[in-house]
Amino acid sequence: MSFRVIITQDFDHMSETAAGIVVQHIQAKLQKKGSYNLGLATGNTPTGLYKHLSKAANAGSFDAAKIRSFNLDEYIGLPGENAQQRALHPESYSFFMIQEFFGLLRKKFCETNVPWGTLVEQERLVAELKAHPEDWTEEGEDKGRAIIIRTDARSEYLRWIRREILDAYREKIEAAGGIDLHIVGVGGRGHVAFHESGIPFAKNPMLLVRLDDNTVENAVSDGHFVRREDSPCYAVSMGTELVYQAKTVLLLANGVRKTGPIAESILNDPTPLVPISYGQTYAKRGGEMIYVLDRAAAAQVLENAERVRQRGIVIEDLSGDSAKIRVGDLKFFRDPATGQLN
């Protein structure tokens, strides 16, 4: 089992530490093969990491042109007359990635991919779901639900969404050889991407999701939308089944809002009610699971450190004054007092 929890001082330290891990992972893989598949998340949490990662790429630490990226999710229902306008909406995840990462790279990735949610017309989706209830079912134990479209759906539009929006994205990742390292964040209820709390792990690699009210409210409280009425209520997303097929999953979390979900995900047994808890199953099956947390998000982990270790999870506390990491030249130091990497 390979499961590490790395605890850092604050957001900046978390971002720099995580970037160092990603850069070293890219360098090691590119020495063995000529390409690299990087999974990416949106939201406030990875923005610092992306700044450090782009600086490392621009400094020549790795060849960005050999990297192909796959994002986790995208909204359905953003304002716009067509897919192009929706993709360029300031709150689309396509626009976010250009602004926060892709646009910072002097040498661009060979290919970037964001789930194709902006191709879906939300009004037509809602109308087709209402007109053809026999074509789909819902899965989930809470308010956020996965909408499972039948392969033999009578609605041509619903069949198209399943075939060309959901299945095609999964197939493209598989054809590329899978994701080498996936950067993910964590939602306020322990969800990853738009795999909402309560949606089953199994048989849900790509999801059409009716969003949890809490997710919509967080989008407003985090400043992404002015009003609840402006926030989309549907999304396309990788499910945990697909996210955790990556060879390495790097989860970032900062702030007190993430304290509870982080603790639940590692102190208790895996449950769809806390989707990131699937990381335990993933690690036991041979995946490399790494949490990089600031001290606020790690508060309950530190309070229960012995219980965490008893579950086979390694804690590396880099949050002391001696902790330091330099991404620019990728030099790491060990604290002689603790022996921890810093």
Res. 216: pLDDT tops 90:
no
Among 68-77, 88-97, 183-192, 223-232, where is mean pLDDT lowest?
Answer: 223-232
Q: Which residues pair with 40 in a beta bridge?
A: 71
Residue among 10, 81, 82, 76 at smallest CA distance from 48: 10
pLDDT in tens, 294-305: 999 999 999 999
* Residues 210/147, Cβ–Cβ less than 8 Å: yes
For the 2-332 domain, the top CATH level (class) is alpha beta
Structure tokens at 88: 């360029």
Is residue 28 classed exposed, middle or buried when 0-12, 13-18 and 19+ CB atoms within 10 A define those classes? exposed
Q: How confident is the model at residue 218 (pLDDT cuts 50, 70, 90)?
A: confident
Distance CA 49, CA 14 (A): 8
Res. 122: pLDDT tops 50:
yes
Tell me how far the alpha carbon of residue 253 is from its chain's centroid.
Answer: 11
Torsion of CA 206, 211, 215, 221, to 10 degrees: 120
Res. 327: pLDDT tops 80:
no
Mean pLDDT of 233-247: 96
What is the pLDDT of the chain when averaged over all its residues? 92
Residue 255 pLDDT: 95
pLDDT in tens, 248-291: 999 999 999 999 999 999 999 999 999 999 999 999 999 999 99
Mean pLDDT of 160-171: 98
Rg of the chain's alpha carbons, rounded to an integer?
Answer: 20
CB atoms closer than 10 angstroms to residue 166: 23
Q: How confident is the model at residue 339 (pLDDT cuts 50, 70, 90)?
A: very low
* Residues 301/7, Cβ–Cβ less than 8 Å: yes
- Phi and psi angles of residue 265, each rounded to the nearest 5 degrees, phi first: -70, -20
Distance CA 207, CA 162 (A): 9
Angle at 189 between CA 92 and CA 136, to 5 degrees: 65
Among 58-72, 170-184, 201-215, 303-317, where is mean pLDDT lowest?
Answer: 201-215
Is residue 201 classed exposed, middle or buried when 0-12, 13-18 and 19+ CB atoms within 10 A define those classes? middle
Residue 326 pLDDT: 42
Distance CA 139, CA 162 (A): 15
Domain ranges in the chain are 2-332
Res. 334: pLDDT tops 90:
no
Mean pLDDT of 14-35: 96
Res. 222: pLDDT tops 90:
no
Q: How confident is the model at residue 342 (pLDDT cuts 50, 70, 90)?
A: very low
Residue 230 pLDDT: 80
* Residues 144/195, Cβ–Cβ less than 8 Å: no
Tell me how far the alpha carbon of residue 246 is from its chain's centroid.
Answer: 11
Helix (H, G, I), strand (E, B) or coil at 228: helix
Residue 199 pLDDT: 95
Residue 190 pLDDT: 93
For the whole model, what pTM was predicted? 0.90
